[in-house]
Structure 1
Amino acid sequence: MRRVVAVIAAVVTVLVGLQAPAHASTPTLFGASVYQPSGQTFTQALAAADGRYGTLPVLRVFYPGAPAAWTDTKLATPGRATVVSFKYDADTVLAGTADAYLRSWFANAPRDRDIFWCFYHEPEDDIRDGAFTAASYRAAWQRIAGLADQAGNPRLFATTILMDWTVDPKSGRNWRDYYPGPAYVDVMAWDVYNFDEANSETMASHNAKRPALEVARSQGKPYAVAELGVQDHANRPAMLRDIARWMRGTADARFVTYFDAVGWPEDDLIGDTASIQAWREAVTGTLFAGTPVMTTTAGPAAATSTSIQWSTRVDPAQQAGWVSCASWRTIGGSEFVEGPRRYLAGNPETVTCDRSGLQPDTSYRARVKWWSAQSGGSLLYTSNTVDQVTARA
């Protein structure tokens, strides 16, 4: 179902004077594809993957043709989100040949978990090689999205999956050639490879060269990673931790699934104990756990003669609680105002607070407070304070 999914790196909320809106951010899901050795069932392979990384909350599943029925063991995974791609010839789709099967497939999709479906992931090379045209691909995607909409299932998310190489200027490609349009897409996901391991390239640096996050944001869509690969290197564990932090913090990624397939050029983590541990920390959330961190700054709007504004970057650190804005006159501590409270959990957010009706040419101090849901609503943490002086009348 087409729906507006507003996932932005900085969720701005006015807390003072108005009831805060519901928390919009969804915690990033970290998972993987499941390596299935010869002679092993998928159930056995999944159990082995869970043993390496902890219970994977999201799985990456591939079908080289039509998607299997939902009874297939790769899809019958209650409690886990699924990123599933399938392939048809675009001209076949446009002829209507796949309509009946896909209409039934979408209609029978589970409603107890998120399903991120993709028609023909990484179509760029196939279009380059003449399998079908970019126009046919876009039209086929639009047709399939219409079939998905007929199911009326809010847990179905139309998800494009392109190479992040496509947004690198060196590729000579235009990502819009492979984009069916915002009305037909819920999530924009990418396959992210080709890091400079020897120099411990950060995810921020990688994205600067291949700005997939900015492309997704330009369309108002959540960013996600359907395949991630870092080649075997002594720097890989540290790089995986950096990538995970960037995905959760800067990108507010909807999901990130590592491509854990033996045979792919040294990207799999099998046998690399240190890298397995790093990804396990991301999957289980222990990488992000700790004490909530709150950093307050003035603005972004400048103080007026009767108002101030302050922003606080809040990292819940795998905890849940409530935040509220507090402010008072710097000298003497009078005119104290606080609230209302707003529930916050999941990924880091920027909370912006406003206070009006103040005295001109007067200094006020502001901060944000945290009440812990795990401690019965106790006030546990406060941010730093910032001082602002209202303008003269």
Structure 2
Amino acid sequence: AAAWGLWEPSWQGHGDSVDFGQYTRMDAQLGHRAGFVHWFANWDEGWDYDGPLVQQVMGANRTPMITWEAYNRPLKAIAAGQYDGYIDSWARGMAASGSRPIYLRIFHEFNDPLQPGTGSGYSWGTGGGTQNQPADLVAAWRHIHDRFAGAGASNVRFVWCPDGVNIDIGGLRAAYPGDAYVDFAGWDAYDYDTARDYQVLSQISQRPFVLPEVGSADPAWVQDLSSKLRSGGYSRIRAVIWFDEAEWRLDVKPGVRTAVKDMLTTFS
């Protein structure tokens, strides 16, 4: 059975003192506890800020998933070791955080073209609008992975996650670091063609899947995801994490919320 999680924008930003109120409210609304707490940390944040958040999530008996955003850090420079001090501080911090897994998603949605002013793409992208090649992403990824391994951070689960749109199997395959460097593969799913995304990624990675960002305003889309999970059609998907913001907020979409509640009856 898949695990459930949430990204709640109101949760983050309280600094060292985190408000779990929105999580407990959503747990009650959905009749199911969110096992994953997902948040975003850019590389201007130090472990001294995010380490306490990790401890509070673990203390609440939930599992952290951090999307680690390397804004404006060139992939070639990462691979060349220019940011090792920063990377190592996180690796050591995570290694010292106990045995509960920490899911770390890096270079997410790299397949989206960078189009300034549109909200599309990131500086680490390989889908156009940057100078990056897929091989640059692979080299940077493997370098980060090796630094974490060297620090003894065996509790970290590395998550490779393109966007579920702009799916090109050749470009994705070229940007895949390899099963030895990836613990979970997945994609971000917003009313996209989930069956296609599942089929394409199944050809690239042998790792289990997680969906770190899921959002829909269409109950039928959720029902389709639910039925495929229930029937075993998506047997490799181990976690679904809802992006509970903007038009995907479950508390303002009763039809979608009902479909999600039904889906969660089969979740762990």
Equivalent position to 1:36, from 1, 4, 10:
10
Counterpart of 1:71 in structure 2 is 51
Number of aligned positions between the proteins: 240
Q: Deviations over 1:171-198 (max 9, x none)?
A: xx62113212222111111011234xxx
Q: How does 1:244-323 map to 2 (within 5 A)?
A: 244-247=226-229, 249-252=232-235, 253-262=237-246, 266-283=247-264, 287-288=265-266
Write the distance in 2 (CA, Å) between the matches of 1:66 and 1:254.
31
Counterpart of 1:45 in structure 2 is 22
Write the distance in 2 (CA, Å) between the matches of 1:213 and 1:51.
34
User: 2:41·2:68 contact (CA, 8 Å) conserved in 1?
Assistant: yes
Cα distance change of structure 1 residues 98 and 44 upon mapping to structure 2, 3 Å threshold: farther
User: 2:176·2:204 contact (CA, 8 Å) conserved in 1?
Assistant: no
Q: Secondary structure at the match of 2:252?
A: coil
Q: How does 1:353-364 map to 2 (within 5 A)?
A: none
Write the distance in 1 (CA, Å) between the matches of 2:243 and 2:164.
14
Q: Secondary structure at the match of 1:123?
A: coil
Cα distance change of structure 1 residues 226 and 37 upon mapping to structure 2, 3 Å threshold: closer
Write the distance in 1 (CA, Å) between the matches of 2:90 and 2:21.
26
Output the aligned Cα RMSD: 2.9
Residue identity opposite 1:115 in structure 2: I
Q: Deviations over 1:119-165 (max 9, x none)?
A: 22111223311163322221111100111212334431111010122
* Bigger Rg over Cα: 1
Q: Secondary structure at the match of 1:278?
A: helix
Query: Given the alignment of the two structures, is residue 92 of structure 1 paired with residue 77 of structure 2, yes or no?
Result: yes
Residue identity opposite 2:240 in structure 1: V
Counterpart of 1:56 in structure 2 is 34
Equivalent position to 2:109, from 119, 122, 128:
122
Write the distance in 2 (CA, Å) between the matches of 1:272 and 1:214.
30
Write the distance in 1 (CA, Å) between the matches of 2:56 and 2:202.
30
Structure 1 residues without counterparts, runs of 5 or longer: 1-26, 196-205, 289-317, 319-345, 347-393
Write the distance in 1 (CA, Å) between the matches of 2:63 and 2:11.
23
Q: Secondary structure at the match of 1:211?
A: helix
Write the distance in 1 (CA, Å) between the matches of 2:210 and 2:13.
32
Q: Secondary structure at the match of 1:179?
A: coil
Cα distance change of structure 1 residues 75 and 138 upon mapping to structure 2, 3 Å threshold: farther
Cα distance change of structure 1 residues 33 and 91 upon mapping to structure 2, 3 Å threshold: same
Shift of 1:214: 4.7
Write the distance in 2 (CA, Å) between the matches of 1:35 and 1:47.
14
Write the distance in 2 (CA, Å) between the matches of 1:83 and 1:147.
19
Q: Deviations over 1:216-238 (max 9, x none)?
A: 3653211221111212x4xx1x5
User: 1:168·1:211 contact (CA, 8 Å) conserved in 2?
Assistant: no
Moved more, 84-93 or 60-69: 60-69
Q: Deviations over 1:302-352 (max 9, x none)?
A: xxxxxxxxxxxxxxxx8xxxxxxxxxxxxxxxxxxxxxxxxxxx7xxxxxx
Shift of 1:76: 2.8
Query: Given the alignment of the two structures, is residue 83 of structure 1 paired with residue 65 of structure 2, yes or no?
Result: yes
Shift of 1:117: 0.8
Query: Given the alignment of the two structures, is residue 190 of structure 1 paired with residue 187 of structure 2, yes or no?
Result: yes
Identity of aligned residues (%): 21
Write the distance in 1 (CA, Å) between the matches of 2:194 and 2:92.
37
Write the distance in 2 (CA, Å) between the matches of 1:112 and 1:35.
27
Residue identity opposite 2:130 in structure 1: G
Write the distance in 2 (CA, Å) between the matches of 1:150 and 1:56.
32
Q: Deviations over 1:270-308 (max 9, x none)?
A: 32234224324444xxx22xxxxxxxxxxxxxxxxxxxx
Counterpart of 2:100 in structure 1 is 113
More helix by share: 2
If the length of structure 1 is used for normalisation, what is the TM-score? 0.54
More strand by share: 1
Write the distance in 1 (CA, Å) between the matches of 2:40 and 2:258.
25
